[in-house]
Amino acid sequence: MLTGVQVVFLGGDARQLEIIQKLSELDSTVTLVGFDQLQNPFHGVQRQSLTPELLQQADALVLPAVGTDDKGRIHAIFTSDELMLTEEHMAALSSHCVLFTGMAKPYLSKLCDKHRITLVELFDRDDVAIYNSIPTAEGAVMMAIQHTDITLHGSECLVLGMGRTGFTLARTLFGLGANVRIGVRRNEHFARATEMGFKPFYVTDLAQYVTNIDLLFNTIPTMIVTAQVIAQMPNRAVLIDLASFPGGIDFRFAEKRGIKAMLAPGLPGIVAPKTAGRILAQSISQLLLEFTRNRGNGQ
């Protein structure tokens, strides 16, 4: 249990509600900032304004999926007030406070470094990334269905990258009956892809493998689908870039060629906010239990 552990939530979207629910069930003391427009308030959970005094008490601070923007603004859909995390707030945190977020921009990482606050970037964790790959793959399938006039069954699909997202997506497409080719760079991924029934190729040869595709899904976070590669594609191809901004597709050239190409960020939060919230809730609660056990508080 997390009895006596003070957790402050600063902003966020529907995913936060699952985390609040879970931490309340574990008996932590939860305070919400930036939730004044929430329709169904949680029982026994306080709402307050963001002040240094509030943060002094916190054992943990939970920020949204993207902690802050480059100026310290916190995304908060349940309030119309602007929420800013400032130097003064960080200075008020006690040294044992742990800050959780999905991913931190340099503004937040620098503040945490400066004030020696433990920063946990949940999307960096393998377990979270693997669980998140499930709603991501479902979201990618949704986008593919929306943007094509053929079934995925029997379609020529190309997945780039066999990491946590690429692997799940390739398996999902394969399960739907698509012909799946997967672009890898490691021999062991080539071997595993062969074993799984996908047709692997090395990404260095990408241009040779795009001449007959219906769909391309990129998970490689670097420029990989260049103008030279796009030049080899049929006009019907639809390109869905899952890699984080700016993605790995030359969108300018795709548009010039009249090929549909789109960046598809944040799919778990869009297609399955409840599941995405539960994934984060599970990870945060486990980590908080470990931290508090090591510190000797919580029960």
> Does 244 sit near ligand NAP (CB under 6 A)?
yes
Site string for ligand NAP, 258-277 (x = CB under 6 A): ------xxxxx---------
Q: Which two tokens stand for residue 110?
A: 């620098």
Q: Using CB under 6 A, which of 243, 249, 259, 276 touches ligand NAP?
A: 243
Q: Applying CB under 6 A, which part among 43-51, 172-180, 217-225, 289-297 lies near ligand NAP?
A: 217-225
Given a contact cutoff of 8 angstroms between Cβ atoms, the answer to whether 80 and 37 are in contact is: yes
Helix then strand count (H, E) for the chain reads 11, 14
DSSP string covering 168-191, please? HHHHHHHHTT-EEEEEESSHHHHH
The closest residue (CB) to ligand NAP is 163
Among 165, 172, 275, 292, binds ligand NAP (CB under 6 A): 165
Backbone angles phi, psi at 100, to 5 degrees: -105, 135
User: Based on CB atoms, which residue is closest to ligand NAP, 23 or 264?
Assistant: 264
Specify the stretch interacting with ligand NAP by CB under 6 A; choose among 80-88, 219-227, 249-257, 275-283.
219-227
Q: What does the alpha-carbon distance between residue 206 and residue 17 come to, in Å, rounded to a whole number?
A: 42
Task: Check binding of 163 to ligand NAP (CB under 6 A).
Answer: yes
CA 21 and chain centroid, separation = 20
Q: What are phi and psi of 289, to 5 degrees?
A: -60, -40
**8 A C-beta contact, residue 124 and residue 140:** no
**Residue 132 touching ligand NAP (CB under 6 A):** yes
Q: Which residues bind ligand NAP (CB under 6 A)?
A: 129, 132, 136, 161-166, 185-186, 203, 219-222, 242-244, 264-268
